[in-house]
Structure 1
Amino acid sequence: MVDLLEIRNIRKSFGNNVVLKDMTFNVPPGAIVGFIGDNGAGKSTTIKTVLGLVSHDTGTVKIFDEENINIHPEKKEMIGVVFDAMNLPAHLTIKQLNNVLKKLYNTWDQNHFYQLIHSFHLPMDKKVNEFSRGMSMKLSIAVALSHHAKLLLLDEATGGLDPSSREEVLEEIINFVKYGDKGVLLSSHIMSDIEKVASHLVFIKEGEVLLSEEKDKVIENYAIVDVHENQLPVLNKNIVVAKRNHGSHFSVLVSDRKELPEGIDSKNFSMDELSVFLTRSEK
């Protein structure tokens, strides 16, 4: 099956500042790809590049197997987007907003929209500019899920939500991909959300992919080992993903614990620990 989103060797500079360095990963059908990195790592720039809001210097971006610069307007309706800040008319109520959106989208599903509004406990007659941040994010997510999109691009979409609201939104994201023909790119700092819903993980640092892998493979095969400097040469270079220098010893992330030499013990890790390790490591 063709990938819903394919990013290959994307580079982007603003002046002398290189923000994306040969960025490569994909979103296959049925996948929820957790897109993870510190502030300023390049997550939002990547998403804006996918949407054509930012031009890239080199590389290719394909959406539904078509380069994004050539994508047909009808296919653009198949992309649902939620940014960290809401981009909806603030002076409208939800009822008024629905009337606007059903004229804007040929595929607008009013029944599903109102179903989500009810599920998210959002007020129908209150103006959007009176919403809390959490309410605004839920409204943006409801809009993104209500025009029969095939690909969702969610940039910190759960960041302003309380735990109960996050649970509701995550359930909708899981439902979105359940038939295997849709996909999600989910940028988030909340590793418990990533751990709960993601099928694939993409970690980036300073505009560069450090790890791109199926989550189950990471959990099953990857490990962190602590070794002295003189033990580094005995590790198979092909399984070394990243390492951290602690002065007296190194912590090393390996992609296959079964390939470790005898006498070097591995330890398990949480998603939070993996995130911290990668964002503070060297390749």
Structure 2
Amino acid sequence: MLEINSLVKNYRDFTLKCTMKVERGCITGLVGENGAGKSTAFKALLGLIAYDGGEIRLFGKSPAELTREDREKIGAVMTGSGFSGYLKVKDIVPVLEAMYTGFEKEKFMNLCRKMSVPSDKFIKEFSSGMKAKLKVITAITHRADFLILDEPTVGLDVMSREAILNLLREYMEENEERAILISSHISSDLEGLCDDIYMIHEGKIILHEDTDVLLNEYGLIKASPEQFAGLDRKHILRVRRESYGYDCLTDQKRYYRENYPDIVVENGALDDVIMMLTGGKEL
């Protein structure tokens, strides 16, 4: 579906260097702190900005080669994008019908009703949750094969975020040939959604792993100085000094639980992995 090979985008004080892939039938997450390069990567693959090196292939084509028919297969939600606040949902329906030959009006209106998005209220009067739901509903109701979602749940309450994630799950269940690339710095949103996750930091991909592997095999070792001194370090990825001793990130938590029963080895949540990979030190 999507292949990005050695993509380079240079700014005066920032450089993006990115290689990643999204397979059909998969939801792939891109996580990282604000300013890590997520939005830059999305803009490049959509052809919104030029890039300085590397290759992007979407549906087997570069962004410049995509036809109108190809672009209709993409559903995109970008940070800061949206409809004019002086329109109502019923006003944007004819616009969407003109833009997309595959626009599903009935499905669009049904989802708006289901998600409590009013059709006769000015969009400027919507809550942040309503606006976010409207953008995602628009992306999934023109028979797109590939969704590109840049921070679609940012700034929303828990209920609104879960409603959007459920929309994405339903979208994937309808057709096993579809795919989603979604970015977020709210890692908990992606743990139960994504098949695999890329982690980006300061413009570089620092980790790619299946979500199941991250949640089941990664762990956080909490060791005193004495325990740390006697620790086998061959499966330690990062170390961070703490007041009580050391935090150690491992991708082999069972090994340490079995061989060091007196040492605390916690399950590694995605936030823990991010913090250790971006703030910890290599041995």
Q: Which 5+ residue runs of structure 2 have no aligned equivalent?
A: none
Query: CA-atom RMSD, angstroms?
Result: 2.4
Q: TM-score, normalization: structure 2?
A: 0.87
Measure, in 2, the Cα distance between the counterparts of 1:223 and 1:160. Answer: 29
Shift of 1:241: 4.1
Shift of 1:46: 1.0
Of the candidates 2, 14, 29, which is equivalent to residue 5 of structure 1?
2
Measure, in 1, the Cα distance between the counterparts of 2:157 and 2:214. Answer: 28
Of the candidates 30, 46, 50, which is equivalent to residue 55 of structure 1?
50
1:201 partner SS: strand
- Which sits farther off after the overlay, 154-163 or 201-210? 154-163
2:147 partner SS: strand
Of the candidates 158, 176, 192, which is equivalent to residue 153 of structure 2?
158
Amino acid at match of 2:133: K
1:254 paired residue number: 250
Q: TM-score, normalization: structure 1?
A: 0.87
Change (3 A) 1:25 1:82: same
CA contact (8 A) 1:38 1:279 kept: no
Question: How many positions carry a matched residue from both structures?
Answer: 275
Shift of 1:253: 2.6
1:268 paired residue number: 267
Shift of 1:223: 2.6
CA contact (8 A) 2:214 2:268 kept: no
Measure, in 1, the Cα distance between the counterparts of 2:84 and 2:3. Answer: 31
CA contact (8 A) 2:4 2:19 kept: yes
1:199 paired residue number: 195
CA contact (8 A) 1:41 1:204 kept: yes
- Which sits farther off after the overlay, 98-107 or 215-224? 215-224
Task: Determine whether 1:235 maps to 2:228.
Answer: no
Measure, in 1, the Cα distance between the counterparts of 2:96 and 2:148. Answer: 19
Write the deviation string for residues 85-110 of structure 1: whole angstroms up to 9, x where unpaired: 23223322111100111011111111
Change (3 A) 1:231 1:24: farther
CA contact (8 A) 2:128 2:155 kept: yes
Of the candidates 72, 78, 82, which is equivalent to residue 77 of structure 1?
72
Sequence identity percentage: 31
Write the deviation string for residues 101-134 of structure 1: whole angstroms up to 9, x where unpaired: 1011111111111111111111111122222222
Write the deviation string for residues 183-209 of structure 1: whole angstroms up to 9, x where unpaired: 111212222211221221111110111
Measure, in 1, the Cα distance between the counterparts of 2:247 and 2:57. Answer: 37
